[in-house]
Each structure stands twice: as C-alpha cells, then as structure tokens.
Amino acid sequence: MGLFDKLKEKIAPQEPTLMEEIPKAEAWLKENMERFGQPLDGTHESFAVLDVFFEEQCKPGGLLAGKVRYMKNQLFAVGAYVGQVLVNELGGTWVTDDKAREGEALIGVQLPDGRMARPVQRAIRCFNREPGYTFVDFWDIVSNPPKPREEAEETPLEAETSEEGVPQESEAETPKAKGKRKLFGRREKSEE
C-alpha cells in the first residue's frame, strides 16, 4: 500500500462490505419484527411468519405499502435473515460482490449441492406479491436438491418462465446459470 493509498483511506474511510452489512441487517430485522410482535427464531419455520407479515403489511396502508426503491434497506435485511437461515440450516456459504452496482440484490447463498439461492430476490418477489412466491416455498425449493435429470420431470426452478415462454432468472439457480438482474444499485447517486 503506497503513501497515497494510506492518505486516501484516512480521508475517505472504506464503505462497509456486504459481508459486514449482512449480520447487521439480519439483527435489525429480528429486532424490529420483535417490536412488531412477530419474533423470528432464526429457523426456516419463521419463514411462515415472514409470509404472513408480507401478506398483511403489503396491503394499502400497511408498513410495506410502497415502491421497491423506498424499501431497499428493509428488503436487504429480509434477504440477509433468510440467507442466514439457509447458511445455518443447510450449510450454505455467503457469496457477495462488493464491486457490483446491484450487489445488495445479488447476494447469494451457495448451497452444498452447488445451487445458488438469492434471498434478496425472493424478498423482492414476495414484496411485489408475485403469485407463487413465498418464503415457505423458497425453503421447499432450496432445501430439496433436484432429482437427477433422468428421474425429474421438471423442477420448480426450471419451470419459471415469463408469459412469453422465456426462462426467467430464479433465486436458486444452478452454477451454470448466466446473467444477473439489475434491481437496485449500491452506489447510485439519484433515484429514478
């Protein structure tokens, strides 16, 4: 590290990494859900609590009624909580990219079988009340490895397509899946 790098670091301290932000966001969510009377116990059984909370609070007048761009921190916190449950219960590993503009939305949990679960993307879909997207269903998908190709007719991950029949990105994708959706950026200067 050169003299200018040291000087630059003193003048402009480093932004926390996503790995540093994940446990803080998870703790924030647990604390606030406790205050709301909906405690989360850190297990996949609490995903049902999140589903009920989203169902009730995404309605007009609810705490979550609003546009996704105003809910970035909250949805990141939900994703951090859900992802940490996957890490704890399934033995997954966090995967982050601090350089990606949309890094918060793309945090993932690498599952032992190689699939990548995207908990913030699931939180966004639940927030948007997309049919068929719940946290309980997410657990069912990520906790049950797909059957070998010759035995499987179609897994829930392969079945996700748009109305035009174009495959859509899934929150739990295979290591070979390509392309990342831009949902929101970490270092955006202004909102659209």
Confidence band, pLDDT 50/70/90 cuts, at residue 22: very high
pTM: 0.71
pLDDT value at residue 47: 98
Q: Kind of pairing, strands 172-173 and 108-110?
A: unpaired
| Residue 105 · residue 127 · CB < 8 Å | no
Q: Per residue in 152-173, pLDDT tens?
A: 454 444 333 334 433 344 455 4
In this predicted model, what pLDDT tens digit does every residue of 37-55 receive, in sequence order? 999 999 999 999 999 999 8
- Low-confidence winner among 138-142, 147-151, 176-180 (lowest mean pLDDT): 176-180
Please tell me the distance from the alpha carbon of residue 138 to that of residue 22, in angstroms, as a whole number. Answer: 19
